[in-house]
């Protein structure tokens, strides 16, 4: 018998920040390179580069594993361990139900439940527009146990008051996935975040919470002004507050989700009385706001520092010895450090992702064997019949 697979890292361990750089050049396969950037050690490159299928991007971080996916119902997701460089494809999900045309989004998220020690891959399919009666979201779930009979997708649908926001990555915190929803929208309209969809990985129960701020205070043409990470084992939202139409007078607020009661039923809708959001920290920043540019947030547990990447600037704000903010409207200090980032080459993209916990867990122990993938048996029968016909 072989050695047992390494266990996932305990979620009590502080998460790290992982820099992922994508290189895309014509005539060459896309590549991803990884760097650990959290203290106390200096930022360092990992030894492996991973080939990425064209059109794929990082969907989310699940402890020591990364999920890459493409916004397509036909494209299978794959998972990767950046330490070992191992990758494994997951059988593609079934076609979404209830969509006859128009624009639809597919959001993939890899989750892990500490209570069941199971990994599950979720695919959420929805329209970016809402209606007066809400919006159906098609949900497919695949339990990843590596068995030959595993990798089967379960499909269902649920009603949501608002569409999911496809431009923000799902975040995994303490066995729960969090996805941000938008305000009610129509064709040609853009709205900022309005709610937070919570999915329990173990039970797959879902509910939607209200965010601690009002989406209506933002201009509908602006891209989302909220990012999320884990802080002290809790979900943290970083909210970029702009003053009216002024894009240079800004402050960043950090809200922490403190408590939530168990859902009354499987699909609990927007509620605010079952949550407590605490405004922990905020700081003022100078400089222009650039639309439609990469942003990210993470908490450096080693330095007790909030880090906020805003396109070509990194803001770092120490929390050691600081008290929580008294109210959202209170005056807040200037950010401690503002670091200009180097210009990004035209052939690469990069960002920093929170929630990474190094692990030697192999994705090959989770995905079913390639022979069990959807469609392989059908293709083998076709090849056999074709060769017989050509004899």
Question: Measured between alpha carbons, how far is 43 from 40 in angstroms, rounded to an integer?
Answer: 9
Q: Domains of the chain, with CATH numbers? A: 16-389 (2.130.10)
* Upstream peptide bond of 40 is cis (omega within 30 degrees of 0): yes
54: burial class by Cβ within 10 Å (0-12, 13-18, 19+)? Answer: exposed
Quote the tokens at residue 7: 């266990």
What is the tens place of the pLDDT at every residue in 102-121? Answer: 778 899 999 999 999 999 99
Beta-bridge partner residues of 5: none
Question: Measured between alpha carbons, how far is 285 from 338 in angstroms, rounded to an integer?
Answer: 8
Are 225 and 241 in contact by the 8 Å Cβ rule? The answer is yes
DSSP letter assigned to residue 55: T
Query: Measured between alpha carbons, how far is residue 264 from residues 174, 208, 267 in Å?
Result: 20, 12, 8
What is residue 220's predicted lDDT score, i.e. its pLDDT? Answer: 52
DSSP letter assigned to residue 164: B
- How does residue 360 score in pLDDT terms, banded at 50, 70 and 90? very high
Question: Measured between alpha carbons, how far is 280 from 305 in angstroms, rounded to an integer?
Answer: 13
Identity of the highest mean pLDDT range in 1-15, 153-167, 253-267: 153-167
Question: Measured between alpha carbons, how far is 37 from 376 in angstroms, rounded to an integer?
Answer: 40
Which residue bears the tokens 């990798």?
151
Mean pLDDT of the chain: 82
| Interior/surface letters 6-39, b for 16+ CB within 10 angstroms, e for the rest | eebbebeeebbbbbbbbbeeeeeebebbbbbbbe
- 101 φ/ψ sector (left φ>0, alpha ψ -120 to 50, else beta): left
* Of 230, 234, 319, 245, residue with least CA distance to 282: 319
- How does residue 142 score in pLDDT terms, banded at 50, 70 and 90? very high
In the predicted model, is pLDDT for residue 1 greater than 50?
no
The pTM of the full predicted model, rounded to 2 decimals, is 0.86
Average pLDDT for residues 130-154, to the nearest whole number? 75
- How does residue 203 score in pLDDT terms, banded at 50, 70 and 90? very high
């Amino acid at each position: 018998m072989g050695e047992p697979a390494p266990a996932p890292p305990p979620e009590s361990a502080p998460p790290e920040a992982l820099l992922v750089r994508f290189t895309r050049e014509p005539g060459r396969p896309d590549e991803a390179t990884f760097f650990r950037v959290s203290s106390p050690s200096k930022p360092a490159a990992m030894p492996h580069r991973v080939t990425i299928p064209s059109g794929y991007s990082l969907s989310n971080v699940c402890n020591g594993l990364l999920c890459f996916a493409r916004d397509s119902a036909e494209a299978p997701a794959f998972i990767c361990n950046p330490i070992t460089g191992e990758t494994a494809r997951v059988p593609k999900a079934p076609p979404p139900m209830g969509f006859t045309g128009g624009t639809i989004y597919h959001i993939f998220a890899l989750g892990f439940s500490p209570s069941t020690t199971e990994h599950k891959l979720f695919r959420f399919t929805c329209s970016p527009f809402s209606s007066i009666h809400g919006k159906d979201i098609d949900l497919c779930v695949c339990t990843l146990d590596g068995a030959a009979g595993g990798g089967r997708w379960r499909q269902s649908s649920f009603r949501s008051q608002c569409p999911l926001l496809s431009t923000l990555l799902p975040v995994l915190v303490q066995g729960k996935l969090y996805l941000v929803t938008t305000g009610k929208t129509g064709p040609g309209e853009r709205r900022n975040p309005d709610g937070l969809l919570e999915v329990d990985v173990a039970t797959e129960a879902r509910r939607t919470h209200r965010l601690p701020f009002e989406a209506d205070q933002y201009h509908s043409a602006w891209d989302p002004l909220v990012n999320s990470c884990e802080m002290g084992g809790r979900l943290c939202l970083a909210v970029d507050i702009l003053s009216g139409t002024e894009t240079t007078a800004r402050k960043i607020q950090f809200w922490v989700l403190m408590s939530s009661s168990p859902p009354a039923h499987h699909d609990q809708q927007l509620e605010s009385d079952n949550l407590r959001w605490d405004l922990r920290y905020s700081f003022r920043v100078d400089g222009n706001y650039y639309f439609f540019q990469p942003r990210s947030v993470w908490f450096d547990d080693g330095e007790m520092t909030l880090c906020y990447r805003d396109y070509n600037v990194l803001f770092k704000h120490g929390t050691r010895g600081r008290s929580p903010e008294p109210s959202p409207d209170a005056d807040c200090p200037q950010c401690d450090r503002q670091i200009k980032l180097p210009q990004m080459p035209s052939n690469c993209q990069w960002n920093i992702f929170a929630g990474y916990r190094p692990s030697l867990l192999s994705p090959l122990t989770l995905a079913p064997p390639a022979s069990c993938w959807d469609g392989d048996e059908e293709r083998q029968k076709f090849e056999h019949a074709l060769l017989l016909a050509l004899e």
